[in-house]
Amino acid sequence: MKEFQLIESFFTGRAQSRKDVVVGIGDDCAIVQPADNKSIAISCDTLVENVHFFPDMPAADLGYKSLAVNLSDLASMGAEPAWMTLALTLPEVDETWLAEFSSGLFDIAEYYGVALIGGDTTRGPRSITITINGQLPNNIGLTRSGAKNGDWIYVTGTLGDSALGLDLLRNKAEANAEDRAYLIQRHYRPTPRVLAGQSLRNIASSAIDISDGIMSDIQHVLKASNVGAVINVDNIPLSEPLKASVSPEMALSYALTGGEDYELLFTVNEAQKGMLEVALAESGVKFTQIGQVCTGGQLKLLSDNKPFEPINLGFEHFN
Ligand code: ADP
Ligand code: MG
């Protein structure tokens, strides 16, 4: 199968159309028409075999995750997903693999209304790069730099599931069948908090998505905002499957240092707290207050009001 046939069979066919795509797949460039008064948010993420995923990762999950991690970046800025390009490097043309990969990709693309507008297909060690484009009304985006002394710190969802899911796949941990399936699903199919991010646009003072683990990612907010933070680790939200599978200390370590949760971490001024309840209730996303922004630039972890040090699980992050 030639490159153009491959694109035609697996990608052009299912590529969703949007009215704002003037020229889609098939020409030298795609052309899109952004809405009036909207600015474009752009991000890209690459997944490389043996670095970000194992060779035996189900292709449909890989297609799903490739877009999910990109959507998570849009979510953290409060942008509305619109268009993507896909750069696919594959060692060979495996039609079964491609059919599954594209079905996982288009499942999530259709759910969030993302149109595939172009890409590139090359031969080499397997890797997937998606460039995602979203729209922001009137330049209002959430950034990492707006956190202020006294703001409350929140996270969406639960933390640590994905990292334990990875350790289950690596046979470094054990869980019962039901919990195992849940945790691996959280690793393979993270939920980008797209609607929550948009709801937070006029409410949060800063936001970031948690890709490398909260202890690592919060540092980006503290540095960009020139503030410090106190986190009460007793309030870190943990799922039942995580708590059921490892000790309380390990569960917290997965949650604090594990990574790939793709939940949002955000800060909210005291005066905006009421609005937060309403906004996030509408998007149906659970959120938990875990700490407060302070001066001084340091991150302090407390448990029972005493300094807390998580167990080092030795996760390395390349993303
Ligand atoms: P060029 O050589 O001009 O860069 P290509 O032959 O690489 O063009 O691609 C032809 C068309 O197919 C372009 O519109 C390109 O955006 C699109 N395309 C190539 N690979 C993919 C892919 N994996 N997914 C979606 N569109 C793709
Ligand atoms: Mg090309």
Q: What is the CATH number of the domain that holds 177?
A: 3.90.650.10
Verify that 186 and 247 share a domain, yes or no. yes
Structural domain including 236 reads: 152-307
Residue 133: name the closest of 35, 266, 200 by CA: 35
Verify that 280 and 187 share a domain, yes or no. yes
Residue positions forming the annotated binding site for Mg(2+): 28, 43, 45, 73, 120, 209, 212
Q: Is residue 143 part of a domain?
A: no
* pLDDT for 209: 98
Q: Is residue 144 part of a domain?
A: no
Verify that 128 and 176 share a domain, yes or no. no
Q: What is the CATH number of the domain that holds 29?
A: 3.30.1330.10
Verify that 123 and 75 share a domain, yes or no. yes
Q: Is residue 146 part of a domain?
A: no
> Which residue's CA is minimally distant from atom 3 of ligand 1?
28
> Which residue's CA is minimally distant from atom 1 of ligand 1?
28
Verify that 12 and 122 share a domain, yes or no. yes
Verify that 28 and 104 share a domain, yes or no. yes
Whether the per-residue pLDDT at 319 is higher than 70: the answer is no
Residue 90: name the closest of 70, 114, 119, 132 by CA: 119
* In the chain, beta strands by DSSP E: 21-23, 31-32, 38-48, 80-90, 115-123, 127-137, 152-156, 204-209, 228-232, 264-268, 287-294, 299-303, 306-307
Verify that 169 and 119 share a domain, yes or no. no
Q: Is residue 295 part of a domain?
A: yes
**Residue carrying structure tokens 């998570």:** 72
Q: Is residue 177 part of a domain?
A: yes
Whether the per-residue pLDDT at 311 is higher than 90: the answer is no
**Mean of pLDDT values over 70-81:** 98
> What's phi and psi for 56, nearest 5 deg?
-90, 10
Verify that 85 and 187 share a domain, yes or no. no
Verify that 126 and 165 share a domain, yes or no. no
Per the CB < 8 A criterion, the answer to whether 166 and 225 are in contact is no
Cβ neighbourhood burial of 34 (10 Å; 0-12, 13-18, 19+): middle
Handedness of CA 285, 291, 296, 301 (dihedral sign): negative
> Which residue's CA is minimally distant from atom 9 of ligand 1?
120
Verify that 190 and 85 share a domain, yes or no. no
R_g over Cα of the chain? 20
> What's phi and psi for 117, nearest 5 deg?
-115, 0
Verify that 129 and 159 share a domain, yes or no. no
Residue type, 249: E
**Mean of pLDDT values over 166-190:** 97
Each residue's pLDDT tens digit, 204-234: 999 999 999 999 999 999 999 999 999 999 9
How many angstroms separate the alpha carbon of residue 98 from the centre of ligand 1?
A: 16
How many angstroms separate the alpha carbon of residue 234 from the centre of ligand 2?
A: 51
Each residue's pLDDT tens digit, 3-51: 778 888 899 877 778 999 999 999 999 999 999 999 999 999 999 999 9
Q: Is residue 31 part of a domain?
A: yes
- The residue among 17 and 203 whose pLDDT is bigger is 203
Q: What is the CA 274 to chain-centroid distance, rounded?
A: 26
Whether this prediction's pTM lies above 0.85 is answered by: yes
**Tokens for 122?**
């090359």
How many structural domains comprise the chain? 2
Q: What is the CA 85 to chain-centroid distance, rounded?
A: 18
Verify that 273 and 219 share a domain, yes or no. yes
* pLDDT for 318: 58
Each residue's pLDDT tens digit, 108-134: 999 999 999 999 999 999 999 999 999
pLDDT band at residue 78 under the 50/70/90 scheme: very high
Each residue's pLDDT tens digit, 255-308: 999 999 999 999 999 999 999 998 988 888 999 999 999 999 999 999 999 999
pLDDT band at residue 1 under the 50/70/90 scheme: low
* pLDDT for 200: 96
